[in-house]
């Protein structure tokens, strides 16, 4: 199975092995191999089956989309091999640096196929004609050159046990073409005898790391998408804080739970989106804190209202007491006024009685006066009559009359009458 990053000569190498142009090759940065394809050929009494796997690091797709598509297509390519692979041919180009992109692509291939991948990998270095031209005046062989390399290339050489082969896809001489093919076939046979086959079981065992790798590459887009949702949720919580309601609370709680479930569904237990989940849980915690704050605020508000009501009632009671005191004062004042009025009435009645008594006395006095006047009149005339009758007596008193005169006589008569 052929694999490698776009533009390294993967499909051209497949055509060289098959000795026919079954795979579409191009030198552009856009992969020509979107889906795997398979072809067969006969070589020195051996039947070759070559699968052209999808090119990695396709510039038409994001890294996440590229790895997801690669994983799907690698699974399909493995199925084309009837569930087992003799060797993976990782194709890279001589003359170009083994870039970070190449390294990342290789690491992801390891994760796609699992720990057994490196045990079944052969590195095919294309642009062999360029190598031969550059080393024409040197005695350095390809193997010597590989061992002299440093960094990532040297690490790769060590990991795959030195299974590197130089390939010239532009070779015109048939014998040299066959020599290249033979070298690859012999290396594959030796590898199979040593390591056995890479099977679909090995592929299944790598599923956890494969899915985790895909998720890691998709994580930036997922994080951006979920962060937007989290920001909207946080904004709604802020609105809720300004105008809380029970319906808004339930709506936010439902959205929080839905967002958590969505993140967990994408994460699949790999922990790649753990940071996002913590963000949502923090938002949920903030919501609970907000609810608790609002509850405490409402409780304080109720307490304040209760205190205000108590204060109002106290003031009302105070006013009532003052009113009662005023009423009591007025009642006492009224009572005093009543007592004064009763006293006045009593005095008035006493005065009235006195007046009546005075009137009665006056009337009686008047009547008595009238009686006395009348009696005095009657007494005078009676006296005169008595005098008339008692002339003889008057004569007998000559000395008194002579001494007192007529006035004295009248007075004496009056005293006698009233006595």
pLDDT tens-place string over residues 204-216? 888 888 888 888 8
Q: Residue ranges per domain, the chain?
A: 2-205, 218-371
- CA contacts within 13 A on the Cβ side of 240: 23
pLDDT tens per residue across span 278-298: 888 888 887 787 777 777 777
Q: Which among 231, 259, 189, 248 has a CA at the least distance from the CA of 45?
A: 189
How high is the pLDDT of residue 419?
A: 47
38 membership: H or E segment, kind and range:
strand 37-43
The CATH fold assigned to 2-205 is Rossmann fold (3.40.50)
Percentage, residues of the chain above pLDDT 70: 85
Cα distances (Å, whole numbers) of residue 180 to 80, 141, 207: 25, 15, 35
More confident residue, 391 or 303: 303
Q: Which among 159, 137, 136 has a CA at the least distance from the CA of 146?
A: 159
What's the pLDDT band for 407 if we cut at 50, 70, 90? low
What's the pLDDT band for 62 if we cut at 50, 70, 90? low
How high is the pLDDT of residue 401?
A: 42
Percentage, residues of the chain above pLDDT 90: 20
Q: Partners of 160 in the beta sheet?
A: none
Q: What phi-psi label fits residue 45: left (phi over 0), alpha (psi between -120 and 50 degrees) or beta?
A: left
What's the pLDDT band for 168 if we cut at 50, 70, 90? very high
Mapped onto helix, strand or coil, the DSSP state of residue 299 is helix
CB distance 23 to 37 below 8 Å: yes
What's the whole-number mean pLDDT along residues 91-102? 80
What's the pLDDT band for 393 if we cut at 50, 70, 90? very low
- Token duo for residue 88: 């993976």
Instruction: Work out the mean pLDDT of the chain and round it to a whole number.
Output: 80
For residues 13 and 22, what is the distance between their CA atoms, to the nearest angstrom? 11
pLDDT tens per residue across span 322-380: 888 888 888 888 888 888 887 888 887 887 787 777 777 777 778 777 777 777 666 55
- CA contacts within 13 A on the Cβ side of 415: 6
How high is the pLDDT of residue 34?
A: 64
pLDDT tens per residue across span 115-156: 899 999 999 999 999 998 988 888 889 999 999 888 888 888
Lowest-confidence segment of 22-31, 42-51, 74-83, 207-216 by average pLDDT:
22-31
For residues 33 and 12, what is the distance between their CA atoms, to the nearest angstrom? 11
Mapped onto helix, strand or coil, the DSSP state of residue 133 is helix
Predicted TM-score (pTM) of the model is 0.60
């Amino acid at each position: 199975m052929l694999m490698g990053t776009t533009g390294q000569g993967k499909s051209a190498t497949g055509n060289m092995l098959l000795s026919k142009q079954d795979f579409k090759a191009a030198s552009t940065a856009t992969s020509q191999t979107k889906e795997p394809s398979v072809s067969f050929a006969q070589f020195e009494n051996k039947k070759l089956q070559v699968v052209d796997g999808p090119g990695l690091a396709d510039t038409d797709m994001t890294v996440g989309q590229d790895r997801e598509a690669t994983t799907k297509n690698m699974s399909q390519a493995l199925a084309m091999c009837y569930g087992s692979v003799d060797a993976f041919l990782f194709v890279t180009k001589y003359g170009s640096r083994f870039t970070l992109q190449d390294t990342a692509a290789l690491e992801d291939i390891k994760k796609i196929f699992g720990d057994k991948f490196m045990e079944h990998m052969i590195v095919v270095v294309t642009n062999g004609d360029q190598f031969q031209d550059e080393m024409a005046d040197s005695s350095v062989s390809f193997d010597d050159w590989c061992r002299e390399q440093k960094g990532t290339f040297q690490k790769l050489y060590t990991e795959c046990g030195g299974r590197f082969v130089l390939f010239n896809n532009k070779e015109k001489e048939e014998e040299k073409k066959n020599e290249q093919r033979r070298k690859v076939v012999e290396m594959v046979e030796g590898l199979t005898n040593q390591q056995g086959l890479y099977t679909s079981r090995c592929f299944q065992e790598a599923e956890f790391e494969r899915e985790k790798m895909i998720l890691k590459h998709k994580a930036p887009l997922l994080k951006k998408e979920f962060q937007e949702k989290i920001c909207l949720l946080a904004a709604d919580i802020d609105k809720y804080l300004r105008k809380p309601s029970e319906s808004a609370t339930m709506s936010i709680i439902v959205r929080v739970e839905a967002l958590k479930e969505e993140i967990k569904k994408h994460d699949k237990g790999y922990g790649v989106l753990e940071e996002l989940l913590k963000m949502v849980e923090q938002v949920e915690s903030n919501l609970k804190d907000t609810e608790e704050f609002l509850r405490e605020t409402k409780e304080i508000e109720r307490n304040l209202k209760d205190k205000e009501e108590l204060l109002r009632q106290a003031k009302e009671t105070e006013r009532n007491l003052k009113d009662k005191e005023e009423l009591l004062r007025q009642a006492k004042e009224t009572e005093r006024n009543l007592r004064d009025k009763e006293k006045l009435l009593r005095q008035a009645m006493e005065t009235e009685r006195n007046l009546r008594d005075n009137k009665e006395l006056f009337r009686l006095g008047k009547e008595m006066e009238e009686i006395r006047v009348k009696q005095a009149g009657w007494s005078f005339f009676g006296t005169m009559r008595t005098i008339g009758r008692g002339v003889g007596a008057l004569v007998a008193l000559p000395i008194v009359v002579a001494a007192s005169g007529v006035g004295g006589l009248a007075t004496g008569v009056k005293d006698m009458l009233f006595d």
